[in-house]
Amino acid sequence: MLTNKQHELLVFIDKHLRETGCSPSFEEMKDALALRSKSGIHRLISALEERGFLKRHKHRARALEVVRLSDDLAPPPERALPRFAPNVIRGDFSGRIQGARAADSVAAVTLPLYGKIAAGLPIEALRDQEEQIEVPAAMLGNGEHFALEVEGDSMIEAGILNGDTVIIRKGDAAENGQIIVALVDENEVTLKRLRRRGQSIALEPANARYETKILPAERVRVQGRLVALLRRY
C-alpha cells in the first residue's frame, strides 16, 4: 500500500514516460505534487525504489523506470506491467530463527514485541518481554527478530504509518539507505533511514515536515534493520 504522495508521484512519472519517452525532472515532479522542496521528491523516489515500484539507472540523467504499478492502478493496455508476486521463503524456520519459537513450523512464528518506537521523535524503548506477536514465517530469514509498534508519522512517505508493527532483524550492521532501529546516546530509540556522512550518521525521516538529525557516529548504534511490516485494518 502506497501513501497518497507516493501514489501520486508514481502516476505522474508513468504518464510522463508514456507521453514523452523520458522521465520528468525533479522540478517538474516538485511542481506536479505541489511540494516546496526537491528533498521531498528525493525521499518519495527512494521509498518507491526501495519497495520495487521504481528503478533508477546510474550514470544517466533523468533516468527513472517504472518497474510496476501499485495494485490499485490500472495499467494501460499497451504497456501493462506485471503485478507484484511476493517470493515465499519455505523451509524449517524452527531451527534457523533465534530468539523466537515456531508457533507453526510453516505458517507463523512468535516474536517478542518490544513496546512502542517513535517514528517522529526518539523515545526510550519499552521492552516488555512477556508480550509477543505472531507473524508469517515467510517474512523472516536467518537471524534473530523482534517487533516494535510505531508511534508518529515521520516515516509515512516510506509507507510506515502510526500504529503499524515493524519486524526488525537484530544486528549492528546496515547499509546506506536502509531503514533501521537506531539507539541514540544509549537511551533513546528511533526508526529512521540510515545515511552515513564521513564520521557522522544522518537519521533521515520520510516526511518533509521533519528534519534529518545528523549525529557523531559514536552517539548512534544500529540495533537492527526493517525487514517487514504488519498493519491492522
pLDDT more than 70, % of the chain: 76
**Which CATH number is 97-230 given?**
2.10.109.10
Rounded CA separation 128/138 (Å): 25
- Over range 213-230, report the average pLDDT: 92
Residue 156 has a pLDDT of 92
Kindly tell me the burial class for residue 211, based on how many C-beta atoms sit within 10 Å of its own C-beta (0-12, 13-18, 19 or more). exposed
Helix then strand then coil, % of the chain, to nearest 5: 20, 35, 45
- Over range 196-211, report the average pLDDT: 91
Residue 80 has a pLDDT of 41
Phi, psi of 26 (to 5 degrees): -65, -35
Question: What contacts 30, CB < 8 A, 6 or more positions away?
Answer: 36, 37, 38, 40, 41
User: Is residue 25 among the annotated active site residues?
Assistant: no
Please say if the pLDDT value at position 67 is more than 90: no
Rounded CA separation 38/43 (Å): 9
**Which CATH number is 4-75 given?**
1.10.10.10
| H-run or E-run covering 26 | helix 26-32
CB atoms within 10 A of CB 48: 26
Please say if the pLDDT value at position 101 is more than 60: no
Which residue of the set 5, 170, 192, 200 is catalytic? 192
Helix, strand or coil, per DSSP, at residue 19: helix
C-alpha cell at 127: 521492552
Which residue of the set 154, 170, 200, 213 is catalytic? 154
Q: Where along the chain do its domains lie?
A: 4-75, 97-230
Please say if the pLDDT value at position 34 is more than 70: yes
